[in-house]
Amino acid sequence: RERPGVSPLFGGLTLYPEGMADTQGTIFGVDVSHHQETLDVSILKPSGIQFVIARTAQVKGGKYGTTMDRAYAKHKANAAKVGMLFSSYLYLGDGETAARNVAIHAQAEPDRNVPVALDCEEGSGSIAFFRECVAAFQAAGYYVWGSYVPRWYWQALGSQSLDGLPVLWSSR
């Protein structure tokens, strides 16, 4: 049976947004940023949460600047300390070029072995720009496993095809 929000992740394991593991190798995680800076991820592990996905930055560009996530390194270290899987993500901004989005991400996460998902929503531009960013990250040596494109944003952009993009990551 097909379940909404299913995304291959970390070597073929699967992520469901419901928050509880099933018996077929599914894993669940938590999306964190500076808004959850004090979160102790070790308390999540007993409930079945197995990975952390942390924001490196929100790119705004232009007069609004970019917000580097002050808690990124802390979340990464805490996940490693308790043996949880880890991924980074960048909230893309069309006020900068695709190459500049990569450079901003690399300031927080220079390690090309850390998988990354790209967040495309308000302020992130078109699906064409999103595709350009995916290609730029891949060319820079990053493994882009996921695409976060909320339904409301995708519809606002005209429900364009997402074929060929990394798997769609769904959150609740």
Looking at the predicted structure, is the pLDDT value of residue 61 above 60?
Answer: yes
- Are residues 94 and 123 in contact, defined by beta-carbon separation less than 8 angstroms? yes
Global pTM reads 0.81
Specify which residues 129 forms β-bridges with: none
Looking at the predicted structure, is the pLDDT value of residue 51 above 50?
Answer: yes
C-alpha–C-alpha distance, residues 149 and 81, integer Å: 30
Q: HEC states along the chain?
A: CCCCCCEEECCCEEECCCCCCCCCCEEEEEEECHHHCCCCHHHCHHHCEEEEEEEEEEECCHHHCEEECCCHHHHHHHHHHCCCEEEEEEECCCCCCHHHHHHHHHHHCCCCCCCEEEECCCCCCCHHHHHHHHHHHHHCCCCEEEEECCHHHHHHCCCCCCCCCCEECCCC
Stated length of the chain: 172
Summary mean pLDDT of the chain:
83
Residue 17 confidence class, pLDDT cut points 50, 70, 90: very low
Higher pLDDT, 46 or 23: 46
Question: And the tokens for 1?
Answer: 């049976």
Question: And the tokens for 115?
Answer: 């998988």
Looking at the predicted structure, is the pLDDT value of residue 128 above 90?
Answer: yes
Question: And the tokens for 6?
Answer: 């299913």
Residue 100 confidence class, pLDDT cut points 50, 70, 90: very high
Residue 138 CB contacts under 8 Å (≥ 6 apart), including other chains? 144
Residue 167 confidence class, pLDDT cut points 50, 70, 90: confident
Looking at the predicted structure, is the pLDDT value of residue 119 above 80?
Answer: yes
Looking at the predicted structure, is the pLDDT value of residue 168 above 80?
Answer: yes
pLDDT of residue 63: 58
Question: And the tokens for 136?
Answer: 């730029």
Looking at the predicted structure, is the pLDDT value of residue 10 above 80?
Answer: no
Residue 25 confidence class, pLDDT cut points 50, 70, 90: low
Specify which residues 32 forms β-bridges with: 54
Lowest mean pLDDT among 23-27, 32-36, 44-48, 67-71: 23-27
* 39-64: average pLDDT: 84
C-alpha–C-alpha distance, residues 93 and 116, integer Å: 16
